[in-house]
């Protein structure tokens, strides 16, 4: 670990406690205690007597337990965090004097918290929702918090609407239903009555709402910030994090099932990757608009419901974020971390974005009730650089200031203001401001549909189809006719075809005229298909290997080895978790899970080696068949060798899916088969290419593509029951 990352770790170490073999029990006041099991009572051998309130240790224990909970966050209550580092490879000193964005020799420690927005702390990870992507950088000039989301726009333009928006989206007030869902009347009622949400609801209903992993999401600062350089020139900026592994999502049926089968799916996925040393990484980039060009666009660049299309304002990538260490304890770190958009170091500032200005107040304010006035002293929140000022007292104060002065100016000139000309002091940007004091929004803030169309047009056919189904699912959960009828009209303003498909599914009047013509324009990098990794990879992909007694150990060993060699995660699944014997003797294999304990939803692909006896057992096991059918339905890569080829053919039973009966590997709709396995075709040396010769080349390419979209677009996946 580098020294700068160590700066935060060393800081946290001051508060860490770890028992040794010699540590024994004490009260909170350090008095050694001899019994941690029985309350002090009046006792005799033949009679259980009264319980005594004088038991200080017993009372302390219950009393401390009674107060363990603090209020959960009003939004983004469920989250998972990790530590890491930020490095800069390209200075942008022409734009800012912020050392973190100009000094390429630095490594800055970070803590990141990912979250869902709507659900309570105990809700499921895979619900359809926006994901929070909050980054705290412990810079040498103070903490910098980028409190972002996995979606680049927001539901509202002005912070005054935030309470309404959140009330409408959270469980309904009369019965507190539904949990962690936007599929209800109030959410969609608000979406219609609040047209500025149009662009954002399209993003939220797209695949972005059901990410495969926190590691495969983009992070956006969303709001417009500013950069100031040493010549006092100002630019507008948006911050981007783009994942090295590409942007990928679950499919909806899978997300629904995972919410019950493994509600901690994303949290565990993050931990698995970090513990395996496959550190998640994101490129860090900026989109910059010089102050003089602020009004050159047909949207307002301070409007958080708009993206800055990348064909107009390209992202300049300048650094990297890496996560490499899990928190030591959830509550003091992931739960007590407090982010605030107002925390920026010198050289970075705010724009007049009316959403950002409200956020700058809201975070600090809510943390007063969630954590108390001294929340910035908590180990996870305190900066790694010196903190000195005359703020004092308040509940739970930790710092002890020596000396006689707690005010400025003081006769000793203690703690004077920092010099203005230093690059490490915060200097407010001087700006002439004139206007009329009024509750209103400027003209460009009043257009809400053009970018919703831009987004829809830019999606791939499968993404458009998922978005259509998502809207149909959500509106099916709205039983108030007014709500779904109105939403069908709103959709007709974006795209007539979309509106017609959704209206037909949910039983609304099918619109016959577009509310306004679709302008037909597209922009790059709005579709996830534009954001695949530079080179196909199976790194961190979970591949289930399905076996039973009598499996073919040659194929098993070769494919398993090749998965591991490319940093994939092989997981052996069998009818039971006790040792499974291969055909013809040899070493048994102890599976990671049995077929009932684990489900296909929890992996990215499945591989089934042959072996007559093994395939006979799997063929007569309904759960094993279901594994294959479900993986097919969820568009995952399926690999099979030898006798397993006929098992897969029977499980899927679709003539369009071709299989191999020879030594030639065949890829058909992401199903990769090898009838007659030989070691050449199963080699560990893999070229991840679609038309590769070897079985492993083709199979790993199918995994690297994340899902087989043709299977869905040709209507095959819906013909299999799963
Ligand atoms: C651009 C739009 C927004 C984004 C990207 C965003 C993002 C986030 C994120 C990521 C968190 C979770 C932080 C964590 O992990 O602890 C959060 C929490 C929160 N957000 Fe926002 N938010 C947005 C708009 C707003 C607005 C407009 C307000 C209020 C005016 C607001 C108020 C809050 C509050 C009160 C919390 C809970 C904070 C805490 O308890 O520590 N957010 N937001």
Atom of ligand 1 nearest to the CA of 365: 35
Q: How far is CA 592 from the centre of its chain?
A: 26
Strands of 671-674's sheet in order across: 593-594, 569-574, 542-546, 605-608, 637-641, 671-674, 666-668
* For range 226-252, the mean pLDDT: 97
Atom of ligand 1 nearest to the CA of 147: 10
Domains of the chain by start residue, with CATH = 3-66 (4.10.91), 79-377 (2.40.180.10), 456-530 (1.20.1370.20), 535-719 (3.40.50.880)
Active-site residue, from 76, 199, 343, 701 = 76
Q: What are the pLDDT digits (tens) for 243-264?
A: 999 999 999 999 999 999 999 9
State yes or no: pLDDT of 682 exceeds 90.
no
pLDDT mean across residues, the chain: 96
Two structure tokens written together for 383:
């900066």
* For range 208-217, the mean pLDDT: 98
Q: How confident is the model at residue 1 (pLDDT cuts 50, 70, 90)?
A: very low
Distance 370 CA to ligand 1 centre (A): 13
Distance 582 CA to ligand 1 centre (A): 54
* For range 358-377, the mean pLDDT: 97
Residue written as token pair 């017609």: 500
Rounded-to-integer distance, Cα 667 and Cα 694, Å: 11
State yes or no: pLDDT of 321 exceeds 50.
yes
State yes or no: pLDDT of 89 exceeds 70.
yes
Q: What percent of the chain has pLDDT over 90?
A: 95
Residues with C-beta less than 6 Å from any ligand 1 atom: 73-76, 79, 113, 115, 132, 134, 147-149, 154, 159, 162, 222-223, 304, 337-339, 355, 358-359, 362-363, 366-367, 370
State yes or no: pLDDT of 482 exceeds 60.
yes
Q: What is the dihedral of CA 656, 535, 313, 355, to 10 degrees?
A: 80
Annotated catalytic residue 457: no
Active-site residue, from 56, 63, 89, 149 = 149
Longest dimension (CA), the chain: 92
Annotated catalytic residue 466: no
Distance 45 CA to ligand 1 centre (A): 59
Distance 207 CA to ligand 1 centre (A): 22
* For range 691-699, the mean pLDDT: 93
Residue 317 assigned to a binding site: no
ipTM confidence = 0.96
Closest to 110 in 3D by CA, of 430, 327, 373, 407 = 327
State yes or no: pLDDT of 648 exceeds 50.
yes
- List C-alpha distances in Å: 443 to 298, 299, 588: 11, 9, 72
The pick from 130, 136, 362 for probing ligand 1's pocket by mutation, whose C-beta has the most ligand atoms within 8 angstroms, reads 362
What DSSP letter does each residue of 203-230 carry, written as one string?
HHHSGGGSBS-GGG--EE--S-EEEE-T
Rounded-to-integer distance, Cα 189 and Cα 260, Å: 28
Rounded-to-integer distance, Cα 568 and Cα 631, Å: 18
Distance 75 CA to ligand 1 centre (A): 7
- List C-alpha distances in Å: 589 to 540, 556, 623, 679: 22, 10, 20, 20
Atom of ligand 1 nearest to the CA of 81: 15
Ramachandran angles phi, psi of 535, nearest 5°: -125, 135
Reduce the DSSP state of residue 188 to 3 states and report it: helix
**What pLDDT sits at residue 683?**
77
**What pLDDT sits at residue 356?**
98
Rounded-to-integer distance, Cα 563 and Cα 684, Å: 8
Q: How confident is the model at residue 690 (pLDDT cuts 50, 70, 90)?
A: confident
């Amino acid at each position: 670990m580098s020294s700068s990352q160590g700066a935060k770790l060393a800081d946290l170490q001051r508060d860490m406690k770890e028992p040794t073999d010699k540590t024994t029990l004490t009260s909170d006041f350090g008095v050694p205690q001899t019994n941690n099991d029985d309350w002090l009572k009046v006792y005799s051998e033949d009679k259980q007597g009264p319980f005594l309130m004088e038991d200080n240790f017993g009372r302390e224990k219950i009393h401390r337990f009674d107060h363990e909970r603090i209020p959960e966050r009003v939004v983004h209550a469920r989250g998972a965090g990790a530590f890491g580092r930020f490095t800069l490879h390209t200075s942008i000193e022409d734009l800012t004097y912020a050392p973190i964005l100009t000094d390429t020799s630095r490594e800055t420690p970070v803590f990141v918290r990912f979250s869902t927005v709507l659900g309570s702390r105990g809700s499921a990870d895979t619900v359809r929702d926006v994901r929070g992507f909050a980054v705290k950088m412990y810079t040498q000039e103070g903490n910098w918090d980028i409190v972002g989301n996995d979606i680049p726009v927001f539901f509202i333009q002005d912070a005054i609407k935030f309470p309404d928006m959140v009330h409408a989206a959270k469980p309904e007030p009369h019965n507190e239903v539904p949990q962690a869902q936007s599929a209800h009347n109030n959410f969609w009622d608000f979406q219609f009555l609040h047209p500025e949400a149009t662009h954002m609801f399209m993003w939220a209903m797209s695949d972005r709402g059901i990410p495969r992993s926190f590691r495969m999401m983009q992070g956006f600062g969303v709001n417009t910030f500013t950069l100031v350089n040493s010549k006092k020139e100002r630019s507008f900026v948006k911050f981007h994090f783009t994942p090295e592994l590409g942007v990928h999502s679950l499919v909806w049926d899978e997300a629904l099932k995972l919410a019950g089968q493994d509600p901690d799916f994303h949290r565990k996925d993050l931990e698995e990757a970090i513990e395996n040393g496959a550190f998640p990484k994101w490129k860090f980039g900026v989109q910059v608009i010089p102050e003089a060009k602020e009004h050159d666009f047909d949207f307002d660049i301070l409007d958080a419901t708009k993206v800055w299309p990348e064909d107009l304002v390209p992202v300049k990538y300048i650094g990297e974020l890496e996560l490499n260490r899990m928190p030591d304890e959830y509550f003091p770190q992931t739960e007590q971390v407090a982010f605030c958009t107002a925390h920026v170091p010198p050289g970075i500032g705010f724009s007049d974005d009316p959403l950002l200005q409200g956020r700058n107040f809201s975070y600090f304010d809510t943390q007063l009730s969630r954590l108390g006035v001294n929340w910035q002293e908590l180990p996870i929140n305190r900066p790694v650089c010196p903190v000195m000022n005359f703020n004092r007292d308040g509940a739970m104060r930790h710092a002890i200031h020596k000396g006689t002065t707690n005010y400025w100016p003081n006769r000793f000139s203690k703690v004077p203001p920092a010099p203005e000309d230093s690059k490490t002091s915060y200097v407010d940007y001087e700006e002439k401001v004139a206007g009329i004091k009024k509750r209103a929004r400027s003209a460009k803030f009043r257009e809400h549909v053009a970018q919703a169309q831009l987004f829809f047009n830019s999606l791939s056919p499968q993404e458009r189809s998922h978005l259509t189904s998502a809207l149909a699912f959500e509106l099916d959960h709205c039983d108030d006719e007014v709500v779904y009828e109105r939403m069908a009209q709103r959709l007709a303003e974006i795209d007539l075809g979309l509106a017609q498909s959704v209206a037909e599914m949910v039983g609304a009047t099918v619109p016959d005229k577009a509310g306004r013509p679709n302008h037909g324009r597209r922009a790059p990098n709005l579709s996830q298909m534009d954001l695949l990794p530079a080179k196909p990879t199976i790194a961190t992909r979970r591949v289930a290997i399905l076996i039973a007694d009598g499996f073919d150990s040659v194929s098993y060993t070769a494919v398993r080895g090749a998965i591991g060699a490319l940093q994939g995660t092989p997981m052996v699944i069998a009818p039971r978790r006790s040792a499974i014997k291969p055909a013809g003797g040899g070493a048994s294999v102890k599976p990671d899970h049995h077929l009932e304990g684990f489900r296909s939803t929890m992996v990215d692909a499945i591989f089934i080696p042959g072996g007559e006896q093994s395939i006979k057992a799997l063929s007569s096991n309904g759960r094993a068949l279901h594994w294959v059918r479900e993986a097919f339905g969820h568009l995952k890569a399926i690999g099979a060798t030898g006798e397993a080829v006929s098992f897969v053919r029977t499980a899927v039973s679709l003539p369009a899916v071709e299989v191999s009966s020879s030594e030639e590997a065949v890829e058909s709709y992401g199903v990769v088969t090898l009838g007659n396995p030989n070691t050449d075709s199963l080699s560990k040396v893999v070229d991840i290419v679609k038309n590769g010769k070897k079985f492993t080349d083709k199979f790993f390419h199918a995994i690297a593509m994340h899902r087989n979209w043709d299977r869905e677009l040709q209507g095959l996946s819906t013909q299999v029951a799963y």
